[in-house]
Every structure is written in C-alpha cells, then in structure tokens.
Structure 1
Amino acid sequence: MGIIVQKFGGTSVATPEARKLVVEKIKAAVTNELSPVVVVSAMGRKGECYATDTFIELARKAYKDIASRELDQILYCGEMISAVIMTGTLQAAGLDAIMLTGGQAGIITDNNFNNARILKVDPSRICNLIKMGKIPVVCGFQGITIDDEFTTLGRGGSDTTAAALGSALDAELIEIYTDVDGIMTADPRIVSTAKILDCITYGEVCQLAHQGAKVIHPRAVEIAMQKNIPLVVKSTFSNEPGTLITSITNEDTADTYVADRVATGVTFISNIAQIKINLHDSLNNIASFNIFKSMADNGISVDLINVHPGQIMFTIAEDLADKATAQLQEFGCDVHTTLDCAKVSVVGGGINGVPGVMASFIEALSLNDIPILQTVDSHTSISVLIKKSFVQSAVTALHEKFNLSC
C-alpha cells in the first residue's frame, strides 16, 4: 500500500464536529488502499484557548523576555493536545491510531528555537507502525535536536512537517486540509470574483506564498518539489477536489488553461515602509554595501531593491522603520521614509518572455489613478509598491486585467 500524508490545520481539529469530518477523510484514504500518516496543528486560531498564539501570550504574561528555549517548551503543548484528542477520536471510530510527537516521529532539527530548520527525518519508527497496521498521528510544528531539546519550526511549521515526512516516506501524495476549498486567484475578501485554481506549479505557489498569499508554507512546497511529490490543498469541510500542486512540464500533464495562462494570481502585502536614500558623492559603492550589511546585521529584511546613481530605494516591514532610519542616519545618509505602503504582485509562470505584460500591469493601475512608488519584476512575478489605501482597487483592477475572474 502506498503512503499518503494528511495534514489538518487548526480549524479542522478545533471542534468535535470538525474532527468527525477529519475521521471521514482518513477513512477515505484507507478505503482507497492508502496508508495514512496524519499531521495535526494546534487547535483553533488566535484567541482560542489551545491556539499557539494563546500559549505565547500566556508565557509572555509571566515574563515578557522569556527565553526562546523555554518558550518552545510551552509551544510544544498545543500540537500535543491536538494530537492526543485526534488520536482518541480516531480510536473511538475504530481506527488503530497512535500519537507521536515530532521528535518521536524522527524529525531532527537545528537548535534555532522558535524557528528551527529540519536537518533530517528518520522514518523508521513510522514505517514500523505502518507495517503493524497503525495510523500515526504526528504533532506538526515540532522537532527535536540531537541533544534532545524540544524545538518548534516557526509559522507554517505543520505544513513543513507534512512535507518532510512525505519526502522521507516516499509518499504518493501530501494533502493539506484547511478551511478553504483550495488556492484562489486572489483574496476573496478583496475580489469577489476570485476563483479556485484546479492546478498550479510548485514554482507558482512558492511565488504566491512569498508575495503574500496565505496558502501553504513555501518551505513545504520546496521539500515536496525535491522528490516531485504532488500536494493537494483542500477543505476539510467540503468534498471539493481542491488545488493540485505539481510539476507541470508538458501539455500532456496540464490542461489548456494551465499551459496557456500568463498570470496565476494577484497577491498583496501591507504594512510596508519605503526607504529612500539620496547618496552624497562621499557615499561610494562600498558605503552602499555597508548600508545593506547594516540592515542585515540588525535583523532587518529588505525587499524591492532599486539602486540608481545617487539614490537607493528599498522596502522593509513598517514596524522596523524607526530602527532602520536610526541606523542609516549613523552613516550620514539622507533618509526619506514613506509609511502606509503595500506591495501588490501578479504571479505567473507564463510572465517570462511574454511581450506587453508589464505594459498591461501599468495600464491597469494608471486607468484607476493609482500612483506607483516603485516597481520590480522577475521571471515569475511583477510587483509594485503603492500606498496601502489603493490595495483593494489595485488588486481588483489587476485581477480583471489578467482575466483571472470566474
């Protein structure tokens, strides 16, 4: 029997009613002669009693500057509670389930607490359990170091857990269950005509995630891509087929829409600040290098970099603007900061080499009187910086311009 990894997010395991639906999804895999390995997130969302954010708030109420190592000890609890409850639910339904922590499942990480990286996965214990006819229920988001320290994988860590296990087990398929029917062409709260994508490439979904779409963690996609394991993003709460993420290399494996489309989706990231530096003659290329090095040394990630004679522009998270400005002023830089910005992007594997794509992008914004502060493009995306107040009109205009509506 082939192996299928099924990951269920927080809303999928938050209530008894939702967990009954999870049982049905797992039973369906067994009926299809697959051996399921289940991965679960902590129950619920921010503000709910067993959600990850609730545990963080609880710890920091006790001590605001709690050490990362100690924080990981309490963060471990969320997925453990969820996994125990889900295991009991499966056992009550007549399925031979067994709960494993991330460490017990063989997930070995570095010691970067709160944001650990998986170094290797030893699948031997899970393989033995599968041979015994058991269904492992693994805590997502967790790992363990070679020194037996508990670690957590950061945001999206349960997706990464599922992909890492799928890779180590040579799974036939990885299913990511959530509360939406699949990956959409835009945020439906912004664009009412956004639609579910039937199929998308690994590269496209990574770009969507990096550019702001909250779909699946890009690291999970990268891991699955290395072994060409297909992923499906779908809803626990419906029987819709979801979105298939795979390597589409020719027209035999892709429908006409996927093969021909230029754009796949429109995304945005808000709460961005633009930093504009006017360079004096005394600030040469070495000084320009030091500017970016100082940002890195202070843990400030930069984006949308444009370097021109006499001027450098880049963007950062808005809550780091004061810190960045103070650091740059130490270099004697003439710094101008623009707050309340957003990055809007069109993503698509067909963008590269197609004449007129940038012109269409600019036209859509110009016709809607949306000022552009900055632009950048790559083989698979075009992004602009605009004021945050224009996000809805920009996303809507681009979605329509590139024929992404239902």
Structure 2
Amino acid sequence: MFPTVKKVSHSITIPVSNAVEINDAKEDQIISIAYDKSVALIRINCPGLDGDDWVIEVFTALKECSTAFDMVSIQPHQVSFTVKSGLVDTVYDSLEKLEFHPESVADCVRLSVRGSCGQPLLSTITAVAETLAQFNIPILRLAESYGLIEVLIEAEYISEARKALAKRFNVYIHC
C-alpha cells in the first residue's frame, strides 16, 4: 500500500540563499571546545574488485558485528571511518573474513568546537585549521555542520591543540 499524499492549499516558498544572512568576515561566537578520547580511524583500500559493491560489503560487515561508526569518507579507492578504540579488533576480525585488510590510526581524539545559534561556523573552521597548522598538528578529519566543528587528530597532539585553540578562541576546554 502506498502512502497517501495530501495536497496543500497554498504553495510554500523556500527562501533563496541570499535571504539568509551569513557573514563569514564576522567572528563566530564560540561557546565551548570539548574533546573525547579513544577513537580510532580505520582505512580500507579498494581490494581490486570491480565496481563499488565492496563498499556495501564493508558497511554490511560493520552492521553485522553491531559496530557504530562515524566520520565516514568514501573515496574512489578507499573507505575510512572512525570507531571507538575498543572496537578496532572487532572491526579487523569482521573485515578480515571478507579478505579486506584495514589500516588504523588507533589513538585519536575528536575535538568539538561548538558555536552559538546553530549557524555555520564559516570563519571558525578556517581559524581551527590555521591554528592547528601553525603548530604542525596533522588533521585527520575536519567537518562543520551548523554550529559544530569536529576535528580528528592523533592523541599525542591533544595537549598542544587544547592550548592553541583555547588561546585562539579565548575559551575554557572541557575534558
């Protein structure tokens, strides 16, 4: 049975992009910077199979072993994602059965920079990248989504990153 579609009595106007004020020159209002430890970055290179069915096999295997994952990147010849560090062996065992040979960066930290009002942090994402680059801290992942920036770095850099970002944004870092 197909769901019924109710017609509306009036048309809905979606605002055009220039109707939303976004000022990327104005400094963002940062309300917190926090981090969580024990995250692992898993990378799987294309096993030489035809097509992209192998990508589906990877995520099906993760589902079957009840593994939650995050920060996904799907490239033409590589899939990568993060999991809690305690799940690395489970992921490896699950993917080895499929003859996929993952690599991992096991000791990572996810930094979260949160702004106010749920607005895109356009100038802040640039400031985060610049600040970490100034201290030669490699960024494994960097994402922004309406008021939240997530940065994945290796755990060895957390102390330096905390200090640099706290100074840059003049905020207290929550542990």
- Within the candidate set 272, 285, 304, 2:39 is matched to 272
- Provide the residue aligned with 1:209 in structure 2: none
- Mapped partners of 2:50, 2:64: distance in 1: 19
Cα pair 1:262 1:351 within 8 Å, conserved: no
Gaps of 5+ in 2: 1-26
Cα pair 2:115 2:121 within 8 Å, conserved: no
Cα pair 1:263 1:350 within 8 Å, conserved: no
Equivalent runs, 1:61-72 vs 2, <5 Å? none
- Mapped partners of 1:394, 1:271: distance in 2: 16
- Asked if residue 321 in structure 1 is aligned to residue 82 in structure 2, the reply is no
Cα pair 1:351 1:357 within 8 Å, conserved: no
- Provide the residue aligned with 1:282 in structure 2: 49
Equivalent runs, 1:110-125 vs 2, <5 Å? none
Task: Flag the 1:292–1:284 CA change in 2: closer, same or farther, 3 A.
Answer: same
One-letter amino acid matched to 2:58: I
One-letter amino acid matched to 2:113: V
- Within the candidate set 325, 331, 350, 2:98 is matched to 331
Cα pair 2:39 2:109 within 8 Å, conserved: yes
- Mapped partners of 1:320, 1:261: distance in 2: 36
Residue 311 of structure 1 deviates from its aligned partner by 0.8
Equivalent runs, 1:347-386 vs 2, <5 Å? 347-350=114-117, 352-386=119-153
One-letter amino acid matched to 1:391: I
Gaps of 5+ in 1: 1-259
Cα pair 2:120 2:144 within 8 Å, conserved: no
- Mapped partners of 2:118, 2:138: distance in 1: 23
- Mapped partners of 1:283, 1:394: distance in 2: 41
Equivalent runs, 1:171-190 vs 2, <5 Å? none
Cα pair 1:346 1:398 within 8 Å, conserved: no
- Provide the residue aligned with 2:75 in structure 1: 308
**CA RMSD for the aligned pairs?**
2.0
- Provide the residue aligned with 1:394 in structure 2: 161
Partner SS state of residue 116, structure 2: coil
One-letter amino acid matched to 1:359: T
Cα pair 1:276 1:335 within 8 Å, conserved: yes
Instruction: State the number of aligned residues.
Output: 146
- Mapped partners of 1:277, 1:403: distance in 2: 38
Partner SS state of residue 404, structure 1: coil
- Mapped partners of 2:145, 2:50: distance in 1: 29
Residue 293 of structure 1 deviates from its aligned partner by 2.3
Equivalent runs, 1:2-401 vs 2, <5 Å? 262-282=29-49, 284-350=51-117, 352-401=119-168
- Mapped partners of 1:323, 1:300: distance in 2: 8
- Mapped partners of 1:313, 1:349: distance in 2: 30
Partner SS state of residue 35, structure 2: strand
- Mapped partners of 1:390, 1:348: distance in 2: 23
Larger relative helix fraction: 1
Partner SS state of residue 391, structure 1: helix
One-letter amino acid matched to 1:367: Q
Task: Flag the 1:397–1:297 CA change in 2: closer, same or farther, 3 A.
Answer: same
Residue 404 of structure 1 deviates from its aligned partner by 2.2
Cα pair 1:372 1:386 within 8 Å, conserved: yes
Cα pair 2:120 2:147 within 8 Å, conserved: no
- Mapped partners of 2:98, 2:144: distance in 1: 29
Task: Flag the 1:354–1:385 CA change in 2: closer, same or farther, 3 A.
Answer: closer
Task: Flag the 1:352–1:283 CA change in 2: closer, same or farther, 3 A.
Answer: farther
- Mapped partners of 2:85, 2:39: distance in 1: 5
One-letter amino acid matched to 2:51: N
Task: Flag the 1:343–1:264 CA change in 2: closer, same or farther, 3 A.
Answer: same
